[in-house]
Chains A and B, each alone.
Chain A
Amino acid sequence: DTEVTQTPKHLVMGMTNKKSLKCEQHMGHRAMYWYKQKAKKPPELMFVYSYEKLSINESVPSRFSPECPNSSLLNLHLHALQPEDSALYLCASSQRWGRANEKLFFGSGTQLSVL
């Protein structure tokens, strides 16, 4: 199994809603990532988890709250988002964080629209 699975594929939410994005991998990877990608732009790193601990937070607003309950799962909790947060949210994993020649495996993403 070389897949990173993200759910849901599409999400529409209001600015007062609370929702969660989910990501799962069963490749034994111990590094997991959240990226945000706006249309026609490259992905921007948000968070890195290494061995279920938050290693990098790229100054992401607190309305985005990541969680890594175990080595296979990564969640992104959303609350009080703004319309400008509408984007494709990508999850990725790799064997280890910080290894020189790590290959990243990406999920298909969640297309988020904030109304």
Chain B
Amino acid sequence: KQEVTQIPAALSVPEGENLVLNCSFTDSAIYNLQWFRQDPGKGLTSLLLIQSSQREQTSGRLNASLDKSSGRSTLYIAASQPGDSATYLCAVRPWEGNTPLVFGKGTRLSVIA
């Protein structure tokens, strides 16, 4: 059974720092991996989707990498801002057909001005 782990559970950094969030998964048979952002009491916003054949995806100050063989993904945030404060969730879509996303528990990020 696929399990997704995110470390650390919480992270606090000063504004302007570059930071890395980690995600690991137990079964490398995946279709894709997605990173979501969630503000308190709100829904999820999809940030980046990396297909299993890809190594990375970039959007603005965000860069996500995928190493399927080792079961790892990282989300790199450059020049962090207080507006980046949120919970970041990693989710994988298993290879089996019609199988729902498997979510990690998230990393709660605080960027201090």
Tell me the A residues contacting B by CB distance below 8 Å. Answer: 4, 6, 40-43, 45, 48, 55-56, 58, 88, 90, 92, 97-98, 100-109, 111
Contacts and interface: CB of A to CB of B under 8 A. Distances in A.
B63 to A, nearest CB: 18
11 contacts: A42-B91, A92-B43, A100-B51, A100-B93, A101-B31, A101-B51, A104-B101, A106-B43, A106-B45, A106-B46, A109-B42
B38 to A, nearest CB: 9
A71 B100 CA distance: 20
Interface magnitude class on chain B: 20 to 34
A45 B91 CA distance: 12
Given A56-B100, A100-B93, A101-B49, A43 B32 contact: no
B105 A101 contact: no
Given A45-B100, A101-B49, 14 more contacts: A40-B105, A40-B106, A42-B104, A97-B98, A98-B98, A101-B31, A101-B51, A102-B93, A103-B49, A106-B45, A106-B46, A108-B42, A109-B41, A109-B42
A41 B103 CA distance: 10
A108 B98 contact: no
A104 B97 CA distance: 16
A90 B44 contact: yes
Interface of B: 31-32, 34, 36, 41-46, 49, 51, 89, 91, 93, 97-98, 100-101, 103-106, 108
Given A45-B100, A97-B98, A111-B41, A103 B105 contact: no
B46 A103 contact: yes
A101 B92 CA distance: 11
A106 B41 CA distance: 13
A94 to B, nearest CB: 10
Nearest to B43: A106
Closest CB pairs A-B (n = 3): A42-B103, A106-B43, A98-B98
Contacts of B45: 106
A58 B101 CA distance: 13
